Amino acid sequence: MKIKIFLSALGIWCVLTVMAVLNGVFRIAVLEPLLGIFPGAHIASTLLLLAIILLISFFYIRNSTHEWGKNELFIIGLLWLVLTVGFEFLFGHYVAGVSWKALCVDYNVMKGRIWIFVPIAVFSAPLLWGMHAGRQNAALLRRPVKFFALLGILLIVISLAFYRNAVSYKARPPFYKEIKKIIAPLQYSGIHDLARPEVMINLDFKKHNWQLANIHRFDDKGKLLLAQGRFGLCGELAAAVYEKIKGLFDDSYLIDYARAAESGYFLYPQSTHIVLRVTRPSFMSQAIYILDPSFQRYGELNEFDDYLFFESMPNIPFVEKKETDESFAVGTATPVFIKSGFLIMLSVEKQNGFFDKDNFSLSLTASRRFKYSGRYLLALRKNNGKDEILENQSLVENILSLDEYEVLRKRMLQWFVKLSQGEDTLKVQKKLH
């Protein structure tokens, strides 16, 4: 092959690459908001790119004054194929950061993906047009070919002209209805788990931490169990939802967990509020969706401007390790549930600046939404060995039902009795009253 022919073929491949990038812009800007990511936009964008490849290669081969040989056409097709696949995978992985697995997804015909026809068209187009019967037949194709060429260019120009408006179009996230149906029955609440008799509080005075023992449950297969199949705290709800939605998404999506602060209830940087993050990486952009089962929210990242995301996690530690217990530093509270605009939290605290068998407290507090400070609903205290109780009945009546408060009060009394060196329950209750 002459160097001039080689360079011209390389130049045409560059043109094809630019058109492919513009086609990607058109897909993101117009097709995805209108047709959905898959299968609509995928199929439409692939077909449009196939038409572009065939049209450009037609004009290149048929308008050249060079007398093409079969070997030359084969080499050009092979050159285009190697450059196309190499660019897609090498640029996609090392520059755009798309995983190898995600890059291969579009080639899986068994899952309805038709992208494999793009490299086939790139390779076969020179042979197709070069070996075509004479110029007369080619002339018959010129009019429709020009029409489709102009149509393709017009569509791409429109996509670029209206790109900003188009990308702001509020399209629903993938599998929106299915996921909303999954999270609809879920409720952020730990009361049902705290009420289980095997759940206990343990104190470690040396390490200055406390533990909720047996708070998490797993079945024989290691699957996390929600109370009554729908009650749990953020980590439990996120883990349960992950198991239900992972089968909806193919390998072009990455689903992981994120630790976040939510401006309403979980304001602190040390917040352990857990949400799910669904990411769809691509050359042109990276679509990120947030799924928070605790508040039954699912949408694009820009809809969660009231969240501050700290870190991503491939898994939740206690779920991965199948841990049934949760440990906390003294003075650290764990959420119980949300009601009436308040976050109810359980904590173990120091008393008189000390943390020992004669100085500690079990506390139930309520923090109003968007407020940092909490108010005590119930506090059971060991104050220099003496038992004390603090109850805010008016606040309790404004927030909790009688049944909810009785469940929590009963459990806290039981824990306090156990922690009071095994004293008789009635004896401790009399002291508190």
pLDDT digits (tens, 9 = 90+) for 90-149: 887 787 767 777 778 778 777 778 888 899 999 988 888 887 644 545 554 555 556 555
Domain count, the chain: 3
Q: Is residue 206 part of a domain?
A: no
Based on the domain organization, do 372 and 428 belong to the same domain? yes
Based on the domain organization, do 259 and 371 belong to the same domain? no
CA distance linking residue 315 with residue 310, whole number of Å: 15
Of the residues 291, 320, 349, the one at which a domain ends: 320
Residue 35: the pLDDT is 76
Based on the domain organization, do 32 and 70 belong to the same domain? yes
Based on the domain organization, do 142 and 259 belong to the same domain? no
Q: b/e for 6-31, b at 16 or more Cβ within 10 A?
A: eeebeebbeebbebbebbbbbbbbbb
Q: Is residue 94 part of a domain?
A: yes
Q: Is residue 208 part of a domain?
A: no
CA distance linking residue 58 with residue 291, whole number of Å: 47
Q: Is residue 204 part of a domain?
A: no
Based on the domain organization, do 48 and 161 belong to the same domain? yes
Question: What tokens were used for 167?
Answer: 């990308």
- pTM, two decimal places: 0.67
Based on the domain organization, do 86 and 15 belong to the same domain? yes
Based on the domain organization, do 137 and 236 belong to the same domain? no
Q: Read off the pLDDT of residues 244-296 as tens digits, 9 standing for 90 and up.
A: 999 998 877 899 999 988 877 766 655 678 999 999 876 556 789 999 999 99
Based on the domain organization, do 149 and 124 belong to the same domain? yes
Based on the domain organization, do 115 and 15 belong to the same domain? yes
Of the residues 320, 340, 373, the one at which a domain ends: 320
Based on the domain organization, do 39 and 21 belong to the same domain? yes
Q: Is residue 363 part of a domain?
A: yes
What one-character DSSP code corresponds to residue 172? P
Q: How many residues are given for the chain? A: 433
- 3-class DSSP state of 65: coil
Q: Is residue 211 part of a domain?
A: no
Q: Domain range spanning residue 282?
A: 176-196+216-320
Q: Read off the pLDDT of residues 323-372 as tens digits, 9 standing for 90 and up.
A: 999 999 999 999 999 988 899 999 999 999 999 999 999 999 998 887 76
The answer to whether residues 351 and 382 touch, using CB atoms and an 8 Å cutoff, is yes
Q: Is residue 93 part of a domain?
A: yes
The answer to whether residues 173 and 300 touch, using CB atoms and an 8 Å cutoff, is yes
Question: What tokens were used for 49?
Answer: 């790119």
Based on the domain organization, do 338 and 230 belong to the same domain? no
Q: Is residue 201 part of a domain?
A: no
Q: Read off the pLDDT of residues 413-427 as tens digits, 9 standing for 90 and up.
A: 999 999 987 544 445
Based on the domain organization, do 152 and 23 belong to the same domain? yes
Residue 3 one-letter amino acid: I
